[in-house]
Amino acid sequence: MKIQEWPISKFYLQKLSKSPVKHFCAKHFIVRQSISDGDDMVSFQFSKEQEYIRKAAREFAEKEFTPELAMKCDREEKFPEELFRKCAELGFHAVAIPEEYGGGGYGPIEQMIVMEEFSSVNPGLGLACLIPTFGMEILLLHGSEEQKEKYIPKVAEGKWIMGMANTEPDAGSDSAGIKTRAVKEGDEWVLNGTKMFISNGSIADFILVTARTAEVKDFKERHKGISYFIVETNSEGYRATPIKGKMGIRATDTAEVSLRNVRVPSENLVGQEGMGFYYMMEFFDITRVWVAAQAVGIARGALNLAIEYTKQRKAFGMPLATFQYVNFKIAELATKIEAARTLAYRAAAVQIEKGKPDSTLSSMAKWYAGEVAVETCNWCLQFHGGYGYIDEYPINQFYRDAKITEIYEGAKEIEKLVIARNLFRMKV
Ligand SMILES: Cc1cc2nc3c(=O)[nH]c(=O)nc-3n(C[C@H](O)[C@H](O)[C@H](O)COP(=O)(O)OP(=O)(O)OC[C@H]3O[C@@H](n4cnc5c(N)ncnc54)[C@H](O)[C@@H]3O)c2cc1C
């Protein structure tokens, strides 16, 4: 046995730290990290440390994601602030933020583990706990040291919430089609435009906003001339209108954001001017495995609900679980979930090995896991019959929450386009 060496990449793999998560784990388990000899062997097992994080995340979710809170936040479309603070105290939301900025110092696998476990217990509350760091990778990879020091520790502590805004009323899948403009005036940038469906838009302290900083005449060149800015939400001219009536993930905040002559200092430009579109594509390549883990968690949770329900519910004098058709379907879904899970973690493992994401694998993982989640929830609700149609039954929420994984961070068709373009080596 020997201590595992952690490969070095730009930000993923930091030394293990005395993070709150680790403290939490250590409180419950003895933390020791080791792998068996034979480095060239393919391993499909979590390390002991990862297993401890998984158990800790599960324990937290089972204790804190009560059915009452889940129902309240779902029905009232309410962000569970107190729950988020508890989660943040333990550091689950910041598990992959480097320890020098106050995070757990772990990597994408650990982040996925937390996401998967949280989502399997309650997808809405799980996402609400973890989405407050949305956009963090862009800041970590391209922010200046001053920006990182000013913003990241506050997010890691759970004191500040962030977001990332690109989508506009007329530009979603076509993410280079944005109309928001940023014009330089002295040592400030002035932003004007409207952003749509922005997660945390009305609860965030700051948002990473894309805006066009250079006009391009050629339609095919539109991805050039887009830049990222840090916009503090208390800036004059920033207005967020919460979007109500979402089908699922109703415990999260989603808003339409209007920017009217919002002035930000020039030092709020993130990275290089004109590189925003490329940063965004890189970001999605990284975070799509995170959505895949969310989808896998949702599917797992739904399947567990269906297994329990079909063991108890009788029809024609027999438990549903004894019908062969039910058995076959449960077996098929479980197999698909396992395949999606393996693909998702492999995509993340390749990120670690290469030190950068593999966009083909990330897109495959997100598309496939999303599809499996939607299919699984559909069948699991079906097995609940009429009861599944009522929101008092948790399967109902899983069914509604699953759908978002096929829409945000790239609709499933966009994932397929990325995969095909990479395979054909066409210019994206
Ligand atoms: C709850 C929620 C939270 C969100 N959070 C954020 C956020 O924090 N930040 C942010 O920037 N955005 C966010 N979004 C926006 C999300 O990323 C977009 O909704 C998504 O990218 C799809 O864009 P659209 O809605 O404009 O659909 P459109 O681009 O209009 O596409 C509609 C449909 O057309 C099909 N389609 C589109 N293009 C193609 C194509 N080329 N080939 C084949 N089919 C195609 C797909 O089926 C797609 O679903 C969020 C959305 C929701 C619903």
Tens place of pLDDT for every residue, the chain, 428 residues?
Answer: 233 333 323 333 333 344 444 444 333 333 333 333 445 556 778 999 999 999 999 999 999 999 999 999 999 999 999 999 999 999 999 999 999 999 999 999 999 999 999 999 999 999 999 999 999 999 999 999 999 999 999 999 999 999 999 999 999 999 999 999 999 999 999 999 999 999 999 999 999 999 999 998 898 899 999 999 999 999 999 999 999 999 999 999 999 999 999 999 999 999 999 999 999 999 999 999 999 999 999 999 999 999 999 999 999 999 999 999 999 999 999 999 999 999 999 999 998 888 889 999 999 999 999 999 999 999 999 999 999 999 999 999 999 999 999 999 999 999 999 999 999 986 54
Nearest Cα neighbor of 409 from 129, 167, 168, 97 is 167
Residue 98 C-alpha to ligand 1 middle, in angstroms? Answer: 30
Q: Are residues 147 and 28 in the same domain?
A: yes
**The CATH number of the domain where 148 resides is what?**
1.10.540.10
Is the Cβ–Cβ distance between 283 and 164 less than 8 Å? yes
Q: Which residues contact 201 (CB under 8 A, 6 or more apart)?
A: 163, 165, 195, 207, 240, 242, 253, 254, 255, 256, 257
- State residue 352's pLDDT score: 87
Q: Is residue 12 part of a domain?
A: no
Is the Cβ–Cβ distance between 195 and 209 less than 8 Å? yes
Q: Are residues 152 and 24 in the same domain?
A: yes
**The CATH number of the domain where 353 resides is what?**
1.20.140.10
Q: Which domain holds residue 240?
A: 162-274
Q: Are residues 117 and 172 in the same domain?
A: no
- State residue 32's pLDDT score: 30
Q: Is residue 242 part of a domain?
A: yes
Q: Is residue 13 part of a domain?
A: no
- State residue 330's pLDDT score: 98
Q: How far apart are CA 58 and CA 114, in angstroms?
A: 8
Residue 323 C-alpha to ligand 1 middle, in angstroms? Answer: 39
Torsion of CA 72, 78, 79, 80, to 10 degrees: -30
Q: Are residues 353 and 252 in the same domain?
A: no
Q: Which of 167, 283, 417 to mutate to test the pocket of ligand 1 (most atoms within 8 A of CB)?
A: 167
Q: Which residues contact 56 (CB under 8 A, 6 or more apart)?
A: 21, 24, 25, 28, 29, 90
Ligand 1 interacting residues, C-beta cut-off 6 A: 134, 163-167, 172-173, 197-199, 246, 249, 254, 404, 407-411, 413, 417
Q: Is residue 401 part of a domain?
A: yes
- State residue 23's pLDDT score: 44
Is the Cβ–Cβ distance between 78 and 254 less than 8 Å? no
Q: Are residues 135 and 210 in the same domain?
A: no
- State residue 39's pLDDT score: 53
Q: Is residue 2 part of a domain?
A: no
Question: Which token pair is 237?
Answer: 């001219």
Q: Are residues 185 and 288 in the same domain?
A: no
Q: Is residue 409 part of a domain?
A: yes
Q: Are residues 125 and 193 in the same domain?
A: no
**Nearest CA owner, ligand 1 atom 6:** 198
- State residue 34's pLDDT score: 35
Q: Are residues 270 and 315 in the same domain?
A: no
Q: Is residue 15 part of a domain?
A: no
DSSP per-residue letters across 86-109: HHHHHTGGGTTS-GGGTS----HH
Residue 110 C-alpha to ligand 1 middle, in angstroms? Answer: 27
Is the Cβ–Cβ distance between 7 and 355 less than 8 Å? yes
pTM listed for this prediction: 0.92
Q: Are residues 320 and 353 in the same domain?
A: yes
**Nearest CA owner, ligand 1 atom 24:** 172
Q: Which residue has the tokens 């409180």?
A: 27
Give the number of the atom of ligand 1 that is nearest the alpha carbon of residue 248. Answer: 1
Nearest Cα neighbor of 395 from 285, 279, 313 is 313
List phi, psi (to 5°) of 416. -65, -35
Last-in-domain residue among 253, 274, 295? 274
Last-in-domain residue among 226, 254, 274? 274
Q: Is residue 250 part of a domain?
A: yes
Q: How many domains does the chain have?
A: 3
- State residue 42's pLDDT score: 65
Q: Give the containing element (helix H, strand E) for 319.
A: strand 318-319
- State residue 353's pLDDT score: 86
Q: Are residues 114 and 190 in the same domain?
A: no
Residue 173 C-alpha to ligand 1 middle, in angstroms? Answer: 5
Last-in-domain residue among 157, 178, 210? 157
Q: Are residues 115 and 44 in the same domain?
A: yes
**The CATH number of the domain where 240 resides is what?**
2.40.110.10
Q: Are residues 140 and 169 in the same domain?
A: no
